[in-house]
Amino acid sequence: MKYFVSRQKYWPTGELVVEVAVGGKNYANPDMLVSQFPGEAEEYHDPRQAVAVGIKIADAWKAASGHTEIEVRTGFTHGFTAPFESGSYQEAQAWAQRQYQQLDNCDACGELLNDERYTDSFGEGKFCSERCALGSEEQGGESCEACN
Ligand SMILES: [Zn+2]
């Protein structure tokens, strides 16, 4: 799963929004503004990081533009135009935490899995790296000493 951070000027309301969209950049709403702040128009694997970056961008944008009503909004467009619901920074952070808990983590080290994932030699489990996959086999792969 990816999370895409972009600045938007929603049409027709003219609301200024920093959007954190589930599914990556193909799922952002279409009224995206030209990238201006660090971390903007990028994809993140960790929703908590995406929201944290989004809040930084919203604050920088407020300072630069003089607008005070800039929100960080989160959601999923399903590939359509679907302006996200208004919410506070705290609500965006709570959303990120819920998203994070639903994500897959490495069976061995607990790190968040990105698109590249590994299984052990039996094709089982999900791991962040070959090292974690092999490590788990060594620990869990005890065979019967009598049979071998
Ligand atoms: Zn791992």
What digits encode the pLDDT tens for the residues 40-74? 999 999 999 999 999 999 999 999 999 999 999 99
Greater pLDDT, 144 or 53: 53
Average pLDDT over residues 27-33: 93
User: What is the distance in A from the centroid of ligand 1 to the CA of 130?
Assistant: 8
What's the pLDDT score for residue 148? 47
Cα-to-centroid distance, 95 and ligand 1 (Å): 25
Q: Which residues neighbour 87 within 8 Å (Cβ) at sequence distance 6 or greater?
A: 71, 72, 73, 74, 95
Handedness of CA 67, 10, 25, 71 (dihedral sign): positive
Separation of CA 136 and ligand 1 centre (Å): 9
Q: What is the mean pLDDT of residues 6-27?
A: 94
Percent of the chain with pLDDT over 70: 92
Whether 23 has a pLDDT exceeding 70, the answer reads yes
Distance CA 23, CA 5 (A): 11
Q: Is the pLDDT of residue 140 over 60?
A: no
Maximum separation of any 2 CA atoms in the chain, in Å: 76
Q: How far is the CA of 137 from the centre of ligand 1 (A)?
A: 13
CA of 117 to the centre of ligand 1 (A): 9
Q: How far is the CA of 131 from the centre of ligand 1 (A)?
A: 7
Distance 45 CA to ligand 1 centre (A): 15
Q: Which among 116, 115, 146 has a CA at the least distance from the CA of 131?
A: 116
